[in-house]
Amino acid sequence: MSTASRPEPHPESRPGPNPASGPASGPASSPASGPASGPADEILDIVDENDEVIGQAPRGEAYARGLRHRCVFVQARDARGRIFVHRRTPTKLVFPSLYDMFVGGVVGAGESYDDAALREAEEELGVAGLPRPVPLFTFLYEAPDCDPDAIPQTWWSAVYEVRCELPVHPQAEEVAWHAFLPESELVARLGEWRWVPDGLAAYERLRGLRSPARGHGGARPTGQ
């Protein structure tokens, strides 16, 4: 069983100025040409509103132009049922320095959701031999239109869960802080910490599916 650090002290729990909530400046807004050399150059499938592939583009271009692509969200729980929570590093292409209750990321071109879920979970948790994540539901994430001139943020999202009883060694370039938290503590932190908006949307839908009275907010159970 992994023993992770406990939640961060007050100054880190409530960051001062709002971290950027959209694509970071630099590689994300101007993808490099030539051979792939970093996350912004990763080739993604571009999809329509029905999750059908209509083209391909580098990840940085997809973010910069608001092209709809695919992502996976994996809720990892330890042997005690606690949920893996982490804070993203300041160098992430999107949502730098925000908290997340999922591991995951983009689905590569030609890659299945299931394969991406396992790959991303093992990479971000820093483990090998993880059980295949169990698919729960999919939904189309669309960021609220707060600014009519803002670049759209929208991606098809597949949500999974996995049990991780292995010691975790999160990627330093992906994860600035982490801990396994009881769900009651996670819920208590929702109003205190700044969370990635797509992960928060996925978590609210997941809670809705597990508590029918809450509704499911448009989530589509996998296989239906």
- Burial code (b: 16+ CB inside 10 Å, e: under 16) for 8-46 equals beeeeeeeeeebebbbbeebbbebeeeeeeebbbbebbb
How far is Cα 5 from Cα 2, in angstroms, rounded to an integer?
A: 10
Domain boundaries in the chain? 40-143+150-221
Cβ atoms of residues 100 and 203 within 8 Å: no
Measured in whole angstroms, the distance separating CA 224 from the mean position of its chain's CA atoms is: 23
Fold of 40-143+150-221: Nucleoside Triphosphate Pyrophosphohydrolase (3.90.79)
If we measure between CA atoms, which residue out of 160, 86, 171 comes closest to residue 127? Answer: 171
pLDDT at 12: 42
Q: How many C-beta atoms lie closer than 10 Å to residue 213's C-beta?
A: 5
pLDDT at 16: 35
pLDDT at 150: 80
Spans of the chain below 70 pLDDT: 1-37, 146, 212-224
pLDDT at 220: 59
If we measure between CA atoms, which residue out of 103, 95, 98 comes closest to residue 24? Answer: 95
If we measure between CA atoms, which residue out of 164, 148, 155, 23 comes closest to residue 85? Answer: 164
pLDDT tens digit sequence for 19-44: 333 333 333 333 333 444 688 999 99
Task: Name beta bridge partners: 69.
Answer: 155
pLDDT at 80: 98
Q: How many C-beta atoms lie closer than 10 Å to residue 62's C-beta?
A: 24
Measured in whole angstroms, the distance separating CA 43 from the mean position of its chain's CA atoms is: 18
